[in-house]
Amino acid sequence: MDQRLSLITLGVANLTKARKFYVDGLGWKASAASDDAIVFIQLGGIGLSLFQHDALAEDAGVTPGGASGFRGVTIAQNVPTKGDVDAALKQAAKAGGSVVRPAADTSWGGYAGYFADPDGHLWEVAWNPHFKLGTNGELILPPPK
């Protein structure tokens, strides 16, 4: 299996509300492939999609369940400066997200905070001096040993 990831799909309670957060609030542009049932957003070399929670469970062939609390998954955006962390959290809050961990220095020598989108999906915004960002914003990890 190739060492790749193409798409991350977030289950949402209300697609209109989720779209409003990401597109109107964060200012991200939706792909023309989006419609009333799904929203696709290009994020570098991968896609983010927003899809109704129960429909996503059905698509995966699992029961929707009542996932409450921590989902066991977080998404992160690494940014070039500490100030960018503060600015992103501020924008997310203004757009209708909630800051769940205010930005602060981290144990690993960085500066980061978390916000939750309207459906509770957790985004970390991090300045990490150990990981490089490429010219197109791609994350460049240290290569394998």
Q: Write out the binding residues for a copy of itself, residues 4-63 only, by CB under 8 A.
A: 4-11, 26-33, 40-48, 53, 56-57, 59-63
109 touches a copy of itself by CB under 8 A: no
Phi and psi at residue 80, to the nearest 5° = -70, -25
CB of 16 to a copy of itself, least distance (A): 17
Give the H/E segment covering residue 23.
none
Instruction: Give the residue, chosen from 17, 20, 55, 91, that forms a contact with a copy of itself under the rule CB under 8 A.
Output: 91
Specify whether the CB–CB gap between 64 and 53 falls below 8 A: yes
CB of 115 to a copy of itself, least distance (A): 10
- Give the residue with the Cβ less far from a copy of itself, 16 or 145: 145
- Give the burial string for 18-46 (b: 16+ CB within 10 Å, else e): bbebbbebbeeebeeebeeebbbbeeeee
Instruction: Give the residue, chosen from 76, 82, 86, 96, that forms a contact with a copy of itself under the rule CB under 8 A.
Output: 76
- Give the residue with the Cβ less far from a copy of itself, 36 or 66: 66
Specify whether the CB–CB gap between 130 and 139 falls below 8 A: no
124 touches a copy of itself by CB under 8 A: yes
